[in-house]
A and B are shown apart, each in its own frame.
Chain A
Amino acid sequence: GDSVTQMEGPVTLSEEAFLTINCTYTATGYPSLFWYVQYPGEGLQLLLKATKADDKGSNKGFEATYRKETTSFHLEKGSVQVSDSAVYFCALNSNQGGKLIFGQGTELSVKP
């Protein structure tokens, strides 16, 4: 069945460091790919998405490119801030129906 694998956390970085959170997937067909973020005390919110191969999603300085050849959707940010501290979830949807398949989440902590 479909699955998503994320790099394990927690990840601790200093402010202004470069961030990469790896995400790979297994899916039938051509899924849509998402990154959701959960800030402390809040619900999940969509960070970015890509719906077809080679698409790049971007938001708030974060980027991820849909790589079909490597079945990956790695999240990157050039310079993290303390306010980026959160749990990040990679997810896919491969069928009509809206059901999301999530990775296990990666906790990011950014220190000043």
Chain B
Amino acid sequence: EAGVTQFPSHSVIEKGQTVTLRCDPISGHDNLYWYRRVMGKEIKFLLHFVKESKQDESGMPNNRFLAERTGGTYSTLKVQPAELEDSGVYFCASSQDMTKGTEAFFGQGTRLTVV
């Protein structure tokens, strides 16, 4: 069974440019999450999809970030325009359900560097 896949693995862009990150969850997982780790700090929650609907987007830092999950399969996270403070590792995770003890399966992450 394929795990969670993220593209690209690395991205270096200039300030002001646009970047789109993609996440392919495990097949059949309705729940998809985006997280971000900045400069060795804690991993912070960004948002949660249930199928194609945004269940919780309380962690999205500002309106330069746009997440979509059309059709309830893969998801994209667009940053436009990118700022220096957006640099970090973006993780995607998926799970079968939303209960407290459920294991989340993570992708390898996308390392974004804004210069």
Contact = CB atoms under 8 A, between A and B. Distances in A.
B107 interface: yes
Nearest to A52: B101
23 contacts: A31-B100, A32-B101, A43-B4, A44-B93, A45-B105, A89-B43, A94-B100, A96-B98, A96-B100, A97-B56, A98-B95, A98-B97, A98-B99, A98-B100, A98-B104, A99-B33, A99-B48, A99-B56, A100-B43, A102-B35, A102-B44, A105-B40, A105-B42
A44 B91 contact: yes
Nearest to A97: B98
Nearest to A104: B42
B14 interface: no
A97 to B, nearest CB: 5
A42 interface: yes
Interface bin, chain B:
20 to 34
Interface bin, chain A:
20 to 34
A46 to B, nearest CB: 5
Contacts of A77: none
Prevailing SS type, chain A contact patch: loop
B106 interface: yes
Interface of A: 4, 31-32, 36, 41-46, 49, 51, 89, 91, 93-105
B88 interface: no
Nearest to B43: A102
B103 A46 contact: yes
Interface string B29-52: 001010101001111110010000
B48 A97 contact: yes
Nearest to B4: A43
B102 A98 contact: yes
